[in-house]
Structure 1
């Protein structure tokens, strides 16, 4: 009954691994640092033709891709962990809203900024502009989310959900936590609580430690 996660330290697989850690479900990680080249992407090809991480293979042998889908599915499959509101819960709509907002508005920016040549070609000035504009866009999206959420201990209530785990990881990426705290201070306070969860202390240290340029 073991899950298999195709992922890498510091990547979009980390919130999935964090959720499985809180759930207490056994899992193993197939480390595939896909941004390091075709050999690493090929590790994922058998389960995801996009050759992207994360991908989850369930104990039943089903493959699920897309980080938000995986996190929502895990919360539904393990209600005992209380990592997301159930379908009839009044908070379900906002949970789904923000679980979709993070990949659509923020995570999607990294396909462009990580390899700006995909859109800018060999033009150095265009590449630099993409880097700048995508960082600005990400910060603005965090600010917009901040303006519409009133945390209650955690983002959507007194207990953490997979949304908290998702944001805890995505806010570590460019423009990093320092900028995140500037544009979303209330959410930043929540992320410090997520970082400090004793159940995840060793996990964060191993899979995505907050240090140096990531800020705290």
Structure 2
């Protein structure tokens, strides 16, 4: 594998769908390696890439990047010509990072805790970063409501890909409430050509992925 090659480890039934969308927004060449749940993800070869034995993972320029939000942020910075991340001296860099990490931290933790029936009682809310599920959703709604049309205004960015995917998936799986700001933003995201192209590519891989163990 050449250091300059982008190698994308994924499974179409995973958060790798977010990274796929990000890659399609970039419009750069990459190679997809489908890792099946079970033996494939836990093989010695793949554990050398990601010791967690999970997808997605990215190999590029001799380094490995894991964690979906980190991969999206890395790709946006690695390919600045795509314009998917504000520069370090851009005032929009702060809001961009804020919402990326808010979705990766409080939002995902709150949604997971709710799904598992493990939300803390009100008197223990201070022990968790999201406070309460309702507080996390209300704050996320503020971000979605300000997306006109995107989180950074007229500029589409990796934050729309990552944070927007959390909303998109959440609406589909009923883990995020159907509020007008969420559904309107998700509708705009689903209309993007790269979103549709990524979905088609992953859907085409479903038979292959389901046959791997």
Normalised TM-score (structure 2): 0.74
What residue is the counterpart of 1:29 in the other structure?
32
Deviations along 1:9-44, whole A, 9 cap, x unmatched?
1422222221211211111222224xx435433363
What residue is the counterpart of 2:48 in the other structure?
46
Normalised TM-score (structure 1): 0.73
Residue correspondences, number = 188
* 1:1-216 correspondence runs (5 A): 1-33=4-36, 36-42=37-43, 44-58=46-60, 60-108=61-109, 129-130=117-118, 141-148=136-143, 150-174=146-170, 176=172, 180=176, 182-183=178-179, 185-207=180-202
Deviations along 1:185-208, whole A, 9 cap, x unmatched?
224312211111123322223326
Task: Measure the CA separation in 2 of the matches of 1:142 and 1:30.
Answer: 34
**Are the structure 2 counterparts of residues 50 and 147 from structure 1 closer, same or farther at C-alpha, using a change threshold of 3 Å?**
same
**Are the structure 2 counterparts of residues 142 and 156 from structure 1 closer, same or farther at C-alpha, using a change threshold of 3 Å?**
farther
Structure 1, unaligned runs of 5 or more: 117-128, 210-216
Deviations along 1:95-117, whole A, 9 cap, x unmatched?
11111111112334677678x5x
8 Å contact 1:138–1:175 — kept in the other structure?
no
**Are the structure 2 counterparts of residues 153 and 177 from structure 1 closer, same or farther at C-alpha, using a change threshold of 3 Å?**
farther
Aligned-residue offset at 1:153: 0.9
Task: Measure the CA separation in 2 of the matches of 1:11 and 1:99.
Answer: 19
SS in 1 for 2:161: helix
**Are the structure 2 counterparts of residues 208 and 108 from structure 1 closer, same or farther at C-alpha, using a change threshold of 3 Å?**
farther
Aligned-residue offset at 1:170: 2.1
Alpha-carbon RMSD across the aligned residues, in angstroms, is 3.0
Deviations along 1:35-81, whole A, 9 cap, x unmatched?
x43543336311111112221100x2211112111111111121111
Deviations along 1:104-160, whole A, 9 cap, x unmatched?
12334677678x5xxxxxxxxxxxx349x9xxx667523321125511211222132
**Are the structure 2 counterparts of residues 112 and 104 from structure 1 closer, same or farther at C-alpha, using a change threshold of 3 Å?**
same
- Higher RCO (CA 8 Å, separation ≥ 6 residues): 2
